[in-house]
Structure formats: structure tokens, C-alpha cells
């Protein structure tokens, strides 16, 4: 069958992992965008971000937003992988239907 790349078990596994990735990364992206204080340890901060002469909260908020955007982009990639897995599941079902 054309377009069939993986079997039914691998497609189902890919769909489950993709759904979990979308949920987890979407929530992380939202929490980074609202500047959750719990996630500050996960930010890639450098010494210049804590410069007393500049406006440190503004630099830190910019890093929060950048990381949040990256999480949301990764969630979209997982969503595309989930759509691919869903198509593979559908193709596997059509293959089973044609065989029987």
C-alpha cells in the first residue's frame, strides 16, 4: 500500500507519544509565557542578565518568552508527528480491510 511507512503498533506508539508531547509542551509554553517563578531554574540565563545597571527583569522576561515560544513550536512539531501517526493508523486499517 502506498505511503505506508510503519506498522500498526509503531503508529499507535507514535500517536500516544505525540499526544503527550503536545500536552506537556503546550502547558510548558503557557507557563513560560506567564513567567512562572517555578521555572526560573530552567532558563538559560547568563551573568549579563543580572547586570545591576540594566533592567534585569526585562531581560529575564525576554528569556522566558523565548523559551515559551520554543516550547510551543516544539508542540506544533509533535502535533505534526501525531497527524502522521494517525494517517499511518488509518492506512494500516485500510490494508487490513483490503486483505480480509
Structural domain boundaries, residue 68: 8-43+52-99
Quick check: is 33 in a domain? Answer: yes
Reading phi first (left if > 0) and then psi (alpha if -120 to 50, else beta), residue 28 is in alpha
Overall domain count for the chain: 1
Dist CA 100 CA 95 (whole Å): 9
pLDDT computed for residue 97 by the predictor: 72
Quick check: is 1 in a domain? Answer: no
- Burial annotation 70-79 (CB, 10 A radius, 16+ → b, else e): ebbebbeebb
Dist CA 26 CA 72 (whole Å): 6
pLDDT computed for residue 1 by the predictor: 59
pLDDT 10s digits, 64-100: 999 999 999 999 999 999 999 999 999 999 887 776 6
Give the pLDDT band of residue 47 (cuts 50, 70, 90): confident
Quick check: is 76 in a domain? Answer: yes
pLDDT computed for residue 100 by the predictor: 63
Quick check: is 3 in a domain? Answer: no
Quick check: is 23 in a domain? Answer: yes
Q: Kindly tell me if the per-residue pLDDT of 58 is higher than 70.
A: yes
Dist CA 92 CA 90 (whole Å): 5
Amino acid at each position: 500500500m502506498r505511503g505506508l511507512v510503519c506498522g500498526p503498533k509503531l503508529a499507535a506508539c507514535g500517536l500516544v507519544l505525540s499526544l503527550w508531547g503536545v500536552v506537556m509542551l503546550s502547558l510548558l509554553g503557557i507557563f513560560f509565557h506567564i513567567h512562572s517563578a517555578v521555572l526560573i531554574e530552567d532558563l538559560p540565563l547568563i551573568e549579563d542578565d543580572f547586570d545591576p545597571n540594566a533592567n534585569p527583569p526585562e531581560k529575564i522576561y525576554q528569556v522566558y518568552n523565548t523559551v515559551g515560544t520554543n516550547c510551543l513550536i516544539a508542540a506544533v512539531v509533535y502535533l505534526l508527528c501525531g497527524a502522521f501517526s494517525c494517517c499511518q493508523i488509518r492506512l494500516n486499517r485500510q490494508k487490513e480491510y483490503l486483505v480480509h
